[in-house]
Amino acid sequence: MAIKDIRLFGDPVLRTPAADVVDFDKELRTLVKDLEDTMLDAPGAGLAAPQIGVGLRVFTYWVDGIVGHLVNPVLDLSAEEQEGPEGCLSIPGVTVDTRRALTVVAKGQNMFGEPVVLEGSELLARAVQHETDHLDGILFVDRLDPEARKVAMRAIREAEWFGEPAPRVKVSPHSTFGLGM
């Protein structure tokens, strides 16, 4: 499969809600593998399809040595919360304490369309919530209190990568998810 370019803050695809996956085919399995390869290469604790320019509800995660994926996630969050450092591959070099639910139960499907229930706490819960936010067009900086968000936005504006043009993506009339495959 392939390591893809990761879209950076400012790219409109990161603010666009992703569509439900309806075709559980070879192209979806290729997308999941590309997400895994890109996430592991970065490396990161998770990567959502919009981060590589694909507007579909699928993400991968890598927590405690376990690599997995979830398609069309629906989350049930605990009332108990955690606060801890959070960063994003689409916002390199910026890490800010972010409040999240302590535990999560995520229901969805695997790449073959089979039902999956993923339960986790702490880092896994944080990663699942973070990646599902990406599928909804939400970035972790949107979850910060106003003062922390102001500091994070200043760091983003001062980052070397800020304002870089998005990678060009070939859009095909065929079902390639716009990846130029």
For residue 126, the model assigns a pLDDT of 97
- DSSP strand E in 13-65: where? 46-48, 58-63
CA atoms within 13 Å, Cβ hemisphere of 160: 2
Percent of the chain past pLDDT 70, that is, above it, reads 90
Active-site amino acid positions: 131
pLDDT score, position 173: 33
Question: Residue 77 belongs to what H/E stretch?
Answer: strand 66-77
Q: What is the mean pLDDT of residues 165-172?
A: 43
Amino acid type, 52:
I
- Whole-model pTM above 0.75? yes
Q: Give the rounded distance of the alpha carbon of 136 from its chain centre.
A: 10
φ, ψ (nearest 5 deg) of residue 140: -60, -30
Which pLDDT does position 6 carry in this prediction? 96
Tens-place pLDDT, residues 91-146: 999 999 999 999 999 999 999 999 999 999 999 999 999 999 999 999 999 999 99
How far apart are the two ends of the chain, measured CA to CA in Å? Answer: 10
Scan for tokens 């706490």, then name that residue.
Answer: 121
